[in-house]
Structure 1
Amino acid sequence: MSQARDRRGAAARLAAGTPVLPVLLVCVVVIVGLLGAAGMIWLPLLTAGPALAAATNGPRGVLRVGLLAVVLGAVLGARDGVPGHELAAALSALVAVTLPSALASALRGRRERVLAAVRSVAEAAQHALLKPVPARVGPFQVAVRYSAAAAEARIGGDLYALVPTPYGVRLIVGDVRGKGLPAVGTAALVLGVFREAAYDEPDLLAVVDRIERSLARNLGSDDFVTAVVAGYPRPGHMEVVNCGHAPPLLVRASGSIVAVESTRAAPPLGLRALSGEVPGLQVLPFADGDQLLLYTDGVTEARDHGRRFYPLAEGLARHVSDEPARTLGALHNELLAHVGGRLHDDAALLLLRKPAPDNAPEGRPDAPEGAAELEPCTLTPRRDPPIG
């Protein structure tokens, strides 16, 4: 009984490692040879079997297909009376194709393993830098969607973070100039400083100053980061500091959508020394049912085949709901459809919503002192400021 089980197990392992499609291809060639006229015209076609196995299977599978092709070629060549020297030449060609194909398969498998390892490292880096945001942070419902432009990448130059602190929930969404590993390194620097300063500094402007000082020490003269830093220090009040970034979209509980344009022009982070301008703090009324969408220019500057930008405000109006995850899912799908399936720049979306307290009617608190109602406006794609 045990020997029978061992034989069945060995047969199952052999069948599992057998390349099905290349074997079928070899069988088709043999059947064509059997049904057609006798001769060696069909013999060279057997090399297609191991060549195909090299693209779909490991080296053992390639050698199995090659051995099968050699055996069947020898049997059928002898059956058809192919001259010995011609048959030997055809079988030698099979061996000559099989052995390099096995080597190519081994190299392909090695590259795939290296790529898998790189992807796992990139995924670990993403979780370390862009930590997953829970569906509920403090009093807010939260959702995030992030897409890197590079097809094999998990992270890019866009950044986001949302942390509960002793001074309320604080968040940042930003865009590093450039792409690739340098942009990832800058994003890591900004996020590290933000997470530390958000816990230490009572004033949101002081958090921004900490990031600015760190970038001034570590960035080149032509590097910068656009960002929006926001905080919710007390109920009904949302603080926003915009450093050269696209304006957030504020969705009122009534359904109206307005862009939070900066009241004071401020340079991106890392360029303050060149302009001398400092960012200002905006205080917005933020009631139960209100939502705030922060995003990067990879969203608003995404173009379709007609070179038209994606209308984010219009898309948000179509898909806004009481569930941020559902809203961003619909927005992201529409964005991909707009560009034809693949983005050409990193894109990040972060949406937070202040739900009404349980068993309490929704209501709008009095606006904080100095806050004004925002007027609806049209979004335009951001252009990077001139350097120098």
Structure 2
Amino acid sequence: MIRIKAGVPRRTRPRTYSRPPAHPCRRPLRRVLALGLPTAWGATAITYKLACPLAQQDGLGARIVTGAVFFAVGTGLVLHVRRSLLRELRQARRVAGAAQSALLRPLPARIDGLDVAAAQLSADRGAAIGGDLYEAVGTEYGVRVVMGDARGHGLAAMGTAAAVLGSFREAVYDEPDLGDVLRRLDRALARHLRERPPDGAAAEEFVTVLLLEIRPDGEVRALNCGHPWPYVLRDKDIEPLARADPLPPLGLFPLPPQLPAVHCRHLLQGEALFLHTDGAEDARDARGRFFPLPEVLADAIREQPLSPEAVLRRIITELLRHTDGVPSDDVALLMLHNGSSPPGPRDADISGSAARARQATTAPQPTTYP
């Protein structure tokens, strides 16, 4: 299943309301109705067989009529079961969709001067997300971004992705240093693995993580733990953001005592960052050839003005064509485009220790709803 999120401004989204709970008396009534129809069909078939004189005859015409009656009864039962299963399937999909949307929340269309778009492709049919994770948050330290890939794919890796994402969403507001954010993610992953049932897979669990910090002046800093480096899109050229050797993925080895962030470059006006997981570059076609991500990306940015949504849609389309619609791994894409002015300091959307410090000196802000 594919989800392309162009981002929606949170202040302009309509307020949604949940459906009121059903009346307690309706639940037993629904159960009676659910069992009543099959019972009626069965009673009709038994009554016909025992009470109807035509059912007792052995002639060809009587057998044809009896067969037609039982065929109608069987068809009614099959349709009733099918309707019930479809209703339960729709309900399960609604619940799964709500849980998956809570894990990978829709990103805003713009964060501190940066145009944002994200796309994801799950290797499991019926799942909107898998083990790939991403998030972009504006803080007083700048726009902080995480892109990660948990071991495995599909629904089995969602728990690990949820543990890392939850820790990131808390740490980015509280930790001034990007290295401390990474340590918080490492501790959250360790707790998640300790709480899992003991098995052999937990001992080999790991997550590749890329942390970016785009400061108000446009400076980009990064910490990379086994993740592919993003691409910088400049005019019609692409180049890796950095070429430094990454750290090992989280979960395999302890982090080193010192975690200095890599000073990459400044994100100038008109430039963009393209983040991806290894599922995009490692996708193969029927002949075993890898997906040519740099070439496709270079073709996608030739159209000007640059649109993050159009670029991601082009990449996903070409990726599905390359794999015949059956990718073997999850894919996550994230694009940050400096389309106007450099990122500016945030004033209202802060939390954590910075928010608590500001609440001591300023009046409370009005509550906004997504």
> Which residue of the partner structure matches residue 125 of structure 1?
99
Q: What is the match of residue 109 of structure 1? A: 83
| CA shift digits 1:1-52 (9 cap, x unpaired) | xxxxxxxxxxxxxxxxxxxxxxxxxxxxxxxxxxxxxxxxxxxxxxxxxxxx
Q: Percent identity?
A: 40
Contact 1:267 1:278 in 2 (8 A): no
CA distance in 1 between counterparts of 2:153 and 2:295 reads 28
Q: What displacement does 1:126 show?
A: 1.8
Instruction: Look up the match of 1:25.
Output: none
The match for 1:43 is none
> What is the deviation of 1:120?
0.7
Q: Deviations over 1:88-146 (max 9, x none)?
A: 10111112222222222222222211211111111101221100012211110111111
Cα distance in structure 2, aligned partners of 1:291 and 1:347? 19
Structure 2 vs 1, CA of residues 182 and 279 (structure 1 numbering), >3 Å: closer, same or farther? farther
Aligned counterpart, 1:196: 170
Quick one: which of 317, 323, 333 aligns to 2:307?
Answer: 323
Instruction: State yes or no: 1:334 paired with 2:298.
Output: no
Which of 257, 261, 264 is matched with 1:281 structurally?
261
- Displacement of 1:287 in angstroms is 0.9
The 8 Å contact of residues 176 and 226 in structure 1, kept in 2 or not, is answered as yes
Structure 1 segment 1-388 matched on structure 2, within 5 A:
85-219=59-193, 220-252=202-234, 254-273=235-254, 280-283=260-263, 284-320=265-301, 321=303, 322-357=306-341
- The equivalent of 2:52 in structure 1 is none
* C-alpha deviation, 1:229, in angstroms: 1.0
The alignment yields a C-alpha RMSD, in angstroms, of 2.5
CA distance 1:277–1:263, shift in 2 (3 Å): farther
Question: Separation in 1 of the partners of 2:186 and 2:179?
Answer: 10
Contact 2:127–2:155 (8 Å) recurs in 1? no
Q: What secondary structure is seen at the aligned counterpart in 1 of 2:78?
A: helix
Q: Residue 21 of structure 1 corresponds to which residue in structure 2? A: none
Structure 2 contact 149–209 (Cα < 8 Å) conserved = yes
Which blocks of at least 5 consecutive residues in structure 1 are unaligned?
Answer: 1-58, 68-82, 359-388
Letter in 2 for 1:304: D
Q: What secondary structure, in the 3-state scheme, does the structure 1 residue paired with 2:169 have?
A: helix
Equivalent position amino acid for 1:286 in 2: L
Larger Rg: 1
Name the CA distance, whole Å, in 2 between partners of 1:210 and 1:249. Answer: 26
What is the rounded CA distance, in whole Å, between the counterparts of 1:247 and 1:117 in structure 2? 40
Residues 1:304 and 1:181: Cα distance change in structure 2 (over 3 Å): closer
Total equivalences in the alignment: 280
User: How many angstroms does 1:210 deviate by?
Assistant: 0.7
CA distance in 1, matches of 2:210, 2:259: 11
Gaps of 5+ in 2: 1-36, 46-56, 194-201, 343-370
Q: Which SS does the other structure have where 1:120 is aligned?
A: helix
Q: Which amino acid aligns with 2:288?
A: R
* TM-score with structure 2 setting the length: 0.71
Q: Tell me: CA distance 1:200–1:229, structure 2 relative to 1, closer, same or farther (3 Å).
A: same
Counterpart in the other structure of 2:10: none
In the alignment, which residue of structure 1 is the partner of 2:32?
Answer: none
**How many Å separate the matches in 1 of 2:74 and 2:297?**
55
Indicate the SS of the match to 1:305.
coil
Gap change, CA 1:279 and 1:97, over 3 Å in 2: farther
Which one-letter code corresponds to 1:134 in the other structure? P
Distance change >3 Å, CA 342–CA 180, structure 1 → 2? closer
Q: CA deviation at 1:278?
A: 6.6
Equivalent pair of 2:129/2:155 in contact (CA under 8 Å): no
Q: Which secondary structure does the structure 2 equivalent of 1:119 belong to?
A: helix
Cα separation, 2, equivalents of 1:344 and 1:182? 14
Residue identity matched to 1:249: Y
What's the counterpart of residue 27 of structure 2? none
Distance in structure 1 (CA, Å) of the matches to 2:116 and 2:326: 25
**Larger deviation: 199-208 or 174-183?**
174-183
Q: Is the 8 A contact 1:251 1:292 kept in 2?
A: yes
Distance in 2 between the 1:341 and 1:218 partners? 33
CA distance in 2, matches of 1:177, 1:278: 25
SS at match of 1:149: coil
Give the structure-1-normalised TM-score. 0.67
Question: 1:262 deviation in Å?
Answer: 4.6
**Residues 266 and 279, structure 1, Cα contact 8 Å, conserved in 2:** no
Post-superposition shift, 1:276? 5.3
Q: Secondary structure at the match of 2:222?
A: strand
Residues 41-87 of structure 1: per-residue CA shift (max 9 Å, x gap): xxxxxxxxxxxxxxxxxx89xx8xxx9xxxxxxxxxxxxxxx98111
Which letter maps to 1:129? L
In structure 2, do the counterparts of structure 1 residues 169 and 154 end up closer, same or farther at CA, with 3 Å as the change threshold?
same
- Distance in 2 (alpha carbons) for counterparts of 1:225 and 1:142: 24
Q: Which has the higher contact order (CA 8 A, sep 6+)?
A: 2
Q: Distance in 1 between matches of 2:273 and 2:116?
A: 10
Q: CA deviation at 1:265?
A: 3.3
Contact 2:124 2:155 in 1 (8 A): no
Q: CA deviation at 1:261?
A: 4.1
SS of 1:302 mapped into structure 2? coil
Which amino acid counterpart does residue 292 of structure 2 have in structure 1? Answer: P
